[in-house]
Amino acid sequence: MEKICQLSWGPPATLDAAETWGAAPGEQAAAFAVAPPTRKKKISDADVMRRMIKATGGLPNVPAEFAGSAVAEAEFLLQVASEVEHGLLVLYLYAAYSTNDTQTTPPSTPAPFDAEGWQTRLLNIAIQEMDHLLNVQNMLLAVGKKPYFGRGNFPPLPDRAKFYPFPFQFEPLSQISLGKYVSAESPDPVLGMIDQSKLTEDQKTWLPRAVASGKAGAMQSINHVGVIYAKLYWMLQDDGTPVLPWLLPKEQFEKVRHVTDIDLPNLSTSILLQGKFDEGFQGDEGPEPPDAESEHRVIWTLDSRAKMRAAIAQIAEQGEGTKIASDSHFVSFLQLFGEFVTKVDAGSPIPVLPVPTHPNTANDPATEGGRITHPVTLLWARLFNARYRILIAELALIMSESVKENLADGAATGLASRPRLIGDAISREMRQPFGIRGLAKRLTAMPLKADGSGNAGAPFEMPAAPLPTEPTAIRDLLLTFFDESKLIVDDLLALTGSDALPQHDRDGLTNALIAKDKPMRSDVALMKLSP
C-alpha cells in the first residue's frame, strides 16, 4: 500500500473562534462545491496554516511501527511527500503531452497547433516538480535514510483516493483537470481567503471558476500536502519557537517532536550522495544564507537542518504552502486555466489531442476505456513503461553512489558511474526519441483499440511490486528492466507485413537502445554498492 494511504489525521489543537476563518466542520462539504472567498488584505502564514489544518482534519500521523523516533517519523513523511511529488510530476507530463505542439498533425488526431506554448509551460512545471522530488530525496539522505521513488499506480483504488490531494488520474488537458491543478497548488484551502496581491485582474476573475471546476472534478475535498511539509518543517526546528522563513502557529504543533543534530551524525557522508545542481539536473544552487530570496528551480545541498527547512519552505511556496510566489504553480495553472476557458467561451479550437483518460496495459475493469488493445501500440506502450522504470531505477542508483564509485576498472567501463548514469538518465531516458518524451509523443498518434479506433497515451505504469530502497536490490531490478526492454524491442523488430517498422525506427531501436543498453547493463551488473 502507498505510504500516503497509511497516514491518519489527528484533530488540530482547539482554536479560538477569533482565529478561525471559513465554514464550521459541518459546513465543509457544501463549501467545497463553490469557489473560495478572496481577500486583498495580507494574511499571515500562521493564519493560513490554521485553516489548512482545519480543512484537512488535523496533522498527519504515521503508523505506530514507523514512529519509533523523530527521524523514523520524518522518513515516513518524506516518503509520502515523494509519492505526491512523483505523482504530480507524471500527471503534469501526461497533460503536457496531450497538447499538440506540432504544425503537422496526423489525420487521426486533428487538433489545432499549440500556439500559446501550453506544452512548454506544462513541461516547465513538471521539471520544477522533478526538482522538488530530488530535494525530497536529498532530505531523506540528510536524515540518514535511503532514496525513495515509489508511488502507487493511478487511478488509486476507490478506498484510497481520499488520501490523495485529489484522485490522481492521467487525463488530457481540460477545464476540469486545470481546475484540479489550480486548487491543489493553491496557497489556501477553499475554507479560507486567497491573497490576491500577485494576481492580475484577469486571474482574479478566473479564480472562482477555476476552483469550482476543480472541486467538481475531484468530487471530494482537495487535500493540501502543505500540512505534511509544515509538520516536517516544525520537526526540523531547534525547538517550539516559530522560525523564519515559515512562521507556523505554535499551538498547532506544540506536541510535535523535533529532529536534532544528534539524530543526524552522517550529514557529511550524505552530501556525497545528494543530487547537486551542477551534476546535470535542471536546477540552481541553493542560496546563502538559506533563507535568502532565490528562484525556485533550486537543487539544495543539505548540510544542516536550517537548509532543510529552507528547502521545505521553498517547495511549499512554489506549490503546496501558504504563500503565492511570482512563479508559483498556482499562478501558472491559473493563467493556463484562464487561457483555456477563454478559448472555450469564444468557441475557438482547443490544441488538445484526443488522448484517453487512464491509458493502461492492465486488465482492471475500472480502466477498460483507456485499455490499449491495438497489438502494435501495446508493444510501444510496454516499451514506454520499461524505459520509464529504467529511468526511476537509474535515479535511485545515482543517489546511492558517490562520484568516485564504479569508475572504469577491469571489466567495468565506467558507464555505471554516477556522472555517466546521470547523463544516461537525463539525456537518453528523458529526452531522446526512444526515451519517455519521444515515446509519449509517439503514443498519442497511435491507435488505442484493436479495431484502430481512438488514440493512445503514455501509461506511466509502475511495477506491481513496491520499489526496493536497498541499492543492491535496485541494481538487480534495473537489470530486469533492461531485459524486459530488450524482449519488447525484439518483438517490435520482428513485426512483419503492414505492421513492420519503417527502417528509421528499426535503426533507432537498434542504435539507441540495443547497442547502448548492452554495455550499460554489463556495467550495472558489476556495480559495487554500499548497503
In whole angstroms, give the CA distance from residue 81 to residue 227.
11
Confidence of residue 529 (pLDDT cuts 50, 70, 90): confident
Please state, for a pLDDT cut of 90, what percent of the chain lies above it: 63
273 and 384, same domain (yes or no) = no
264 and 386, same domain (yes or no) = no
245 and 136, same domain (yes or no) = yes
In whole angstroms, give the CA distance from residue 411 to residue 521.
12
In whole angstroms, give the CA distance from residue 392 to residue 480.
13
- Which residue from 199, 188, 225 is spatially nearest to 31, judged by alpha carbons? 188
- Is residue 374 one of the residues assigned to a domain? yes
Rounded to 10°, the helix 70-97/226-235 angle is 150
Q: How many domains does one find in the chain?
A: 2
146 and 231, same domain (yes or no) = yes
Which of 1-5, 165-169, 361-365, 488-492 reaches the highest mean pLDDT? 488-492
215 and 250, same domain (yes or no) = yes
In whole angstroms, give the CA distance from residue 282 to residue 279.
9
- Is residue 416 one of the residues assigned to a domain? yes
Residue 143 or residue 185, greater confidence? 143
Strands 284-285 and 298-299: parallel
Q: How would DSSP label each residue in 127-169?
A: HHHHHHHHHHHHHHHHTT---------SSPPTTTGGGSSS---
- Is residue 22 one of the residues assigned to a domain? no
Which amino acid does the sequence have at 398? Answer: I
In whole angstroms, give the CA distance from residue 189 to residue 175.
19
pLDDT of residue 251: 94
Q: Is pLDDT at 13 greater than 70 in this prediction?
A: no
Which amino acid does the sequence have at 283? Answer: G
- Is residue 21 one of the residues assigned to a domain? no
387 and 340, same domain (yes or no) = no
439 and 482, same domain (yes or no) = yes
Q: Is pLDDT at 389 greater than 60 in this prediction?
A: yes
In whole angstroms, give the CA distance from residue 294 to residue 156.
36
Least confident stretch, 182-191, 256-265, 508-517: 182-191
Q: Is pLDDT at 429 greater than 50 in this prediction?
A: yes
**Contact indicator for 212, 206 with CB cutoff of 8 Å:** no
338 and 419, same domain (yes or no) = no
- Is residue 311 one of the residues assigned to a domain? yes
Least confident stretch, 138-142, 254-258, 265-269: 265-269
Task: Return the residue matching grid coordinates 539544495.
Answer: 300
What is the average pLDDT across 262-271?
Answer: 86
Confidence of residue 189 (pLDDT cuts 50, 70, 90): very low
Domain holding 416, by residue range, is 365-526
**Contact indicator for 122, 336 with CB cutoff of 8 Å:** yes
- Average pLDDT score, the chain: 86
Residue 104 parent element (H or E): none
**255-282 burial: b if 16+ Cβ within 10 Å, else e:** ebebbeeeebeebeebbebbbbbebebe
pTM for this predicted structure: 0.91
235-256 per-position pLDDT tens digit = 999 999 999 999 999 999 999 9
- Is residue 335 one of the residues assigned to a domain? yes
CB count within 10 Å of CB 200 equals 13
- Is residue 486 one of the residues assigned to a domain? yes
C-alpha cell of residue 131 = 526538482
335 and 388, same domain (yes or no) = no
264 and 399, same domain (yes or no) = no
The residues near 175 (Cβ < 8 Å, ≥ 6 apart) are: 213, 337, 340, 341, 344
331 and 381, same domain (yes or no) = no
Confidence of residue 12 (pLDDT cuts 50, 70, 90): very low
Q: Is pLDDT at 523 greater than 50 in this prediction?
A: yes
- Is residue 242 one of the residues assigned to a domain? yes
322 and 242, same domain (yes or no) = yes
Q: What is the 3-state secondary structure (H, E, C) of 336-367?
A: HHHHHHHHHHHCCCCCECCCCCCCECCCCHHH
